Amino acid sequence: MSFTSTATQKTSIHQFQIKALDSEKTIDFGDFAGKKILVVNVASKCGFTNQYEELEQLYQTYKDKLVVVGFPCNQFLNQEPGSERDIATFCSTTYGVTFPMTTKVEVKGNDAHAIYQWLTRKEFNGKDDYKISWNFNKFLLDEEGKLLDHFGTRTRPMDEEITAYLR
């Protein structure tokens, strides 16, 4: 598997930027320094899509110390087939999502976005190797942009495993 030089040169998620969903704006992870960050690969037509509700609840409850960032991905059974505008509309009207969302990306394989290459490889993140096998995997990063923990699809956003880090 080849990796982009972008992933190999970064020591913190704060060094990454990505285009925001349905906008010309850029999400600069450096702007989140001093807060924890929860990165989640999301999809609109998944059995776990209702986690958007808890992701928004988590974001609103802890927004003084946490930023949630959703990464739409269509790599798992075509469960995010819509355009970026469709995704943005669905998230805001169905779940009231206000947390930042990125452009649609790949989260695994040779074409995985550099952020996901960094998150899933111990050689880059300094913590461990992680395999993303489905939607709604969660990566929690500390205030300095270093990886704290990874949570699988079945870990709900408001689960004690996650909220314990935010108290």
Could you give phi then psi for residue 33, rounded to 5 degrees?
-55, 135
Query: Between 1.10.3720.10, 3.30.70.260, 3.40.30.10, 3.20.20.70, what CATH number should domain 5-166 receive?
Result: 3.40.30.10
Evaluate if residue 8 carries a pLDDT over 80: no
Locate 49 and state its tokens. 């899509």
Q: Per-residue pLDDT tens for 112-148? A: 999 999 999 999 999 999 999 999 999 999 999 999 9
Residue 23's pLDDT band, with cuts at 50, 70 and 90, is: confident
What integer pLDDT is reported at residue 1 of this predicted model?
46
Q: Per-residue pLDDT tens for 46-78? A: 999 999 999 999 999 999 999 999 999 999 999
CB distance 35 to 143 below 8 Å: yes
Residue 91: active-site member: no
What integer pLDDT is reported at residue 3 of this predicted model?
52
Could you give phi then psi for residue 140, rounded to 5 degrees?
-105, 130
What integer pLDDT is reported at residue 72 of this predicted model?
98
CA-to-CA separations, 155 to 9, 62, 104, 112, in angstroms, rounded: 30, 18, 22, 23
Helices (H), 18-79: 51-62
User: Which one of 46, 58, 91, 101 is the catalytic residue?
Assistant: 46
Evaluate if residue 4 carries a pLDDT over 60: no
